[in-house]
Structure 1
């Protein structure tokens, strides 16, 4: 998931960003209400973690403005305001959930997982298949020819994106937007290194089976079923 953290406490925001990254997500930080509103309005996020007490504009106002703009990104309010008035107000403003500070990071991940499942719907929970390659989004298990393939969180995210676009070229720009941070340097070779590792695990380790991962020079990458 790509997640926006709107939080003015820099240490907490950094802690949450680090934890989400280690869990395989991409997380951006906005430290003020106006910055959070601008980022959420211009970047397609899967979820927003939204504090209520923010400089410049309150979290509730950010949420109301997003809904008025027609932006339906699921928002999870994370706030030290724990009374029922604020909880009800946040939910009525359009939040999908309310998490009280301080919180256990495992609970935050669990709530985001629920949001992801609801957003994906039944189709998003189904296993993705191409030839003898199978990816289980919920169980986070990948197999080829019945053999489990061990992937890093980043490799799993890349493969899931490619499988959801099987047969179509996915550009480096789109990979960077969906799997890497917004500050990714397009001049670096980070994506190439990850794709080389993924190619080894998907194809080279299963030779002489047909290769599935293809580099389209000047365009990007795609998965193709050479058995079809």
Structure 2
């Protein structure tokens, strides 16, 4: 399930990304312009938008997306408790909302309910090789002969490489997109995760560019 999260609170966004990426493919936008840029190259199963963000707010953004016939199911994150904002959220095209502060498991419940209501496919897979597929939802790498279940960080790293094929990715970029600021790994830890992936998918898939980073081919 591909989710696009728009949230301009850096602390909350880090928490949500780290938690949601355990179960879903999640891209992140700080504001509306980044949402538009991501939508130019990718489709999503669910929007998770904060209402009160910098620049164009979530309500106006969704209303504009609906005007351009984008029907992606949407859950709003909101600190508002008045009925006026909630009514406007539904008028803008939202399907659900969750009020701050909230429990992370409540958010998962609302996402799963939206997935059921809209019959969102959960069997998305990525091709790694001729006889190798990666299933992000279950963190499984499958071939015709066996299945390997990746650890959470290994699965996130592989997903990031697959989204950025043939592009040089620095250590800093990988760390910033996979780990929280309060749990930054050492370079040795990152190399250990890369080594684990190479042992499973093949050493030739992830190339080291000395002094610069990694390249997935």
Q: TM-score range by the shorter chain?
A: 0.5 to 0.7
Distance 2:137 2:33 in 1: 31
Residue 115 of structure 1, CA deviation = 5.3
Give the deviation of 1:61 after TM superposition: 1.6
Change (3 A) 1:114 1:141: farther
Between the aligned partners of 1:94 and 1:143, the Cα distance in structure 2 is 38
1:1-228 pair list within 5 angstroms = 1=2, 3-8=4-9, 10-21=10-21, 25-30=25-30, 36-44=31-39, 46=44, 47-113=46-112, 121-122=120-121, 125=123, 133=132, 135-144=134-143, 146-156=145-155, 170-172=165-167, 181=177, 196-203=195-202, 214=205, 221=216
**Residue pair 2:21, 2:156 contacting (<8 A) in 1 also:** no
- 1: CA distance, partners of 2:101 / 2:191: 40
By how many angstroms is 1:199 displaced?
2.6
Contact 1:133 1:143 (8 Å CA) reproduced? yes
Q: Supply the distance in 1 between the matched residues of 2:15 and 2:206 (Cα, whole angstroms).
A: 36
Larger Rg: 1
Q: Deviations over 1:100-130 (max 9, x none)?
A: 22211122234345556788844x5267786
What is the aligned residue count?
198
The answer on whether the counterparts of 2:3 and 2:27 sit within 8 Å (CA) in structure 1 is yes
Superposition TM-score, scaled by structure 1 size: 0.57
Point out where structure 1 has 5 or more consecutive residues left out of the alignment: 31-35, 182-187, 205-212, 223-228
Work out the CA distance in 1 between the residues paired with 2:71 and 2:190.
Answer: 30
Quick one: distance in 2 between partners of 1:147 and 1:15?
34
Q: CA deviation at 1:99?
A: 1.4
Structure 2: unaligned runs, 5 residues or longer: 178-186, 210-214
Provide the TM-score with structure 2 as the length reference: 0.59
1:74·1:115 contact (CA, 8 Å) conserved in 2? Answer: yes
CA distance in 1, matches of 2:23, 2:136: 14
29 and 200 in structure 1: CA distance in 2 versus 1, 3 angstrom threshold: same
